[in-house]
Structure 1
Amino acid sequence: MSQPLVGIVMGSASDLPIMQAAAEVLREFGVPYEMRILSAHRTPEATLRYAREAVGRGLEVLIAGAGGAAHLPGVLASVTPLPVIGVPIGTKSLGGVDSLYSIVQMPRGIPVATVAIDGAANAALLAIQILAVRDRELREKLMAYRERLAQEVEAKDQELKDIKY
């Protein structure tokens, strides 16, 4: 894989089943990425170092998944100029609403884009949209992907009509 453009970070190994959806989407589009497990609470120095060094290493977008207190996306955003996309991870206790609120309620001046609970695939698509602003080939891949989505819906609609449901 060539120089990573997207960093996928998760607060715990237990987040991998959700966050791997981001990796799969990026791989489908041919966008190089890297994945790390870094905790805002358990490895704060390593987390801050990763975010501070991200630009210098050629990363252009960060995707951060976290559950519960879910401070990871905000901590990353606090020390990097890169766009950070937060993925709230569903939790047993509150279903992920706790994670969602923790990520989406960032203070003025430190934005974090936030997707749906367990929405890692959409986080990757948003990262692709950000990269596609200046990458025409990627933009064309994204437009073709959306056309395929539309065709799938149209095909399902036709199936429904055919069975006269």
Structure 2
Amino acid sequence: MLNKSQSISARLSAVDYNYLMSIDRNGAITQSEKVRELIAMARDSTRQVNSVQAYLSSAEALLPLKARYLEESQRSLLIEAVLELLAESAAVVHNSTDCEPIAPVLERNLLPAVDAFLEKMVLLSRQGVPRSIHRETAEKIRHRLELETAD
């Protein structure tokens, strides 16, 4: 492993060289800056692909359960929200395992999924005829939210 900058050389075709020099990101001007930006772009792309793959694999793991749920006639916003939260959370956790420190990254990346879940719970609590299998489920959620917002 290198502890300092390493000089490299590479032979590029005219097309590749023109592409490299056309990179206009973060003010890169020199060849070295352009190569560093190209590496950063590749890393960003890899993270995005890994993020998509993590989400798809976590969602795929829940497919048998979702399929069974969809075969039934009863619907529950709580169940749907939890299944979505599980898939999103699993993808976030999978993508955050290499981060140091992990806690700030997890908190930041989990927030959108938790926020969407809470939004659905608020919706469930406000529905006149709640989309839940057991009426007391929606009433319990409504009561809990009212207690939390009363403070």
Q: TM-score, normalised by structure 1?
A: 0.29
Which has more radius of gyration?
2
Higher normalized helix content (fraction of residues) = 2
What is the TM-score normalised by the length of structure 2?
0.31
- Relative CO higher for 1 or 2, CA cutoff 8 Å, sep ≥ 6? 1
